[in-house]
Amino acid sequence: MSREAMLYERQPEGKVRCNLCSRRCLIPEGGLGVCAARKNVKVKLLTLSYARACSVNVDPIEKKPLFHFNPGSQVLSVSSPFCNFFCRFCCNWIISQQRSTAQTSKMPPESVVNMAKKLHCTGVSYTYTEPTTFFEWAYDTAKLAHECSMFNTFVTNGYLTPEAVDMISPYLDAATVDFKGAGNPIFYKEVMRVPSVEPIYQCLKAMKRNNIHLEVTNLIVPRTGDSEEKLLELARWIIGNLGEDTPMHLLRFFPSADMVEVEETPAASVEKARKICYEAGLRYVYTGNIPCLDGENTRCPNCQELLVERHDFNITKWRLRDNMTCPKCGIKISIKGKYYGLLIARRFYSMLHLFNMRK
């Protein structure tokens, strides 16, 4: 299902320039953008991914990961099979590098929102691949979701242009922006085929200006993407530009796709990275993809009281007051939205993979 794309400009000689992603592809007549999700047809840019779902699941919001946004809520997660990055280690490479809608199901915005309501979800998350590549579908769905009092979240590599951020911001409530290798430019070029890291920082600033709730992840890849110096630089940049209360999630790497020869990240490396981020001044630092006694929990940054216990994306104990303050010292904890409760957090957990629609 194709339709006219948003944010493009006609250029001389029948070319068009796409301004959704920071690659800003100049596409000739009949050509595709780098992501393969956009095509120049008679000097009109078409999106090929509109309403084409390759994966649809019910997830706890904590899986995104979003630990400080409507905790305990459930989201309907949707994706289309394209990406503008080419990460050699991608855990979702089967769908992100599919570059075709052959194995998808038609799912217009109304169907997404109706399914979310039917499954008692309180929001929709655009995830698994890169939502920039199915921006128009996400935009229309997010607008409709807001009309139905649902929130919207992106899980993104952060390569949206500032124009794209401004366009989606009235309907985008939260975003998880995923770094790999702490934003090392060499790592991005050699392992992910991404020409520059700078647009990610500009995207984050634009999201911050638009009051979108932000959480940042960083995948720690042994040998090539585990620089402690770069991690410290990233932590300091986040503090200086997004604020010390921005949650940071440090993710353990597991061999995947074209990097099966690289070992999984040692647990000690993840814990050391967490220490580096705390010492830099970040107040909420979490670990992911790793069994850890405290890495998923939220502690008060002032008195270290244990406030939220989590296990495998589920909240198991909640000790914050109703106004999101610490019960011991009373300081405000930077959690946005409301707490949805323990029972809801578990209700659909067994259904996470019932709605794969890659057929």
What's the pLDDT at 1? 64
pLDDT of 88: 94
**Shared domain check, 329 and 292:** yes
User: Domain check: are 195 and 290 in the same one?
Assistant: yes
Question: What pLDDT is stored for residue 185 in this prediction?
Answer: 97
As a whole-number percent, the residues of the chain with pLDDT over 90 amount to: 87
Same domain, 68 and 128: yes
Name the band, by pLDDT with cuts 50, 70 and 90, for residue 32: very high
User: Running DSSP on this structure, what letter comes out for residue 14?
Assistant: G
Quote the mean pLDDT of the chain: 93
| Residue 309: pLDDT over 90 | yes
Average pLDDT over residues 162-168: 98
Contact (CB, 8 A) for 133 and 83? yes
Same domain, 32 and 134: no
Q: Are residues 83 and 140 in the same domain?
A: yes
Whether 344 shows a pLDDT value over 50: the answer reads no
- pLDDT reading at 286 higher than 60: yes
Angle between helices 228-241 and 267-280 (to 10 degrees): 40
Q: Are 194 and 188 contacting, i.e. CB atoms less than 8 angstroms apart?
A: yes
Bond prior to 65 in cis (omega within 30° of 0): yes
**227 inside domain:** yes
pTM for this predicted structure? 0.94
Q: pLDDT at position 349, please?
A: 44
- Cα radius of gyration (the chain): 20
Residue 345 has pLDDT above 90, yes or no: no
Which pLDDT does position 354 carry in this prediction?
44
Rounded Cα distance, 125 and 74, in Å:
10
| Average pLDDT value for residue range 208-218 | 98
Pair (137, 205) in one structural domain: yes
Over residues 196-215, mean pLDDT: 98
Residues 154 and 37 both lie in one domain: no
Query: Which domain does 318 fall in, by range?
Result: 52-351
Q: Is residue 357 part of a domain?
A: no
Residue 359 lies in a domain: no
What integer pLDDT is reported at residue 231 of this predicted model?
A: 98
How much is the average pLDDT of 109-119? 97
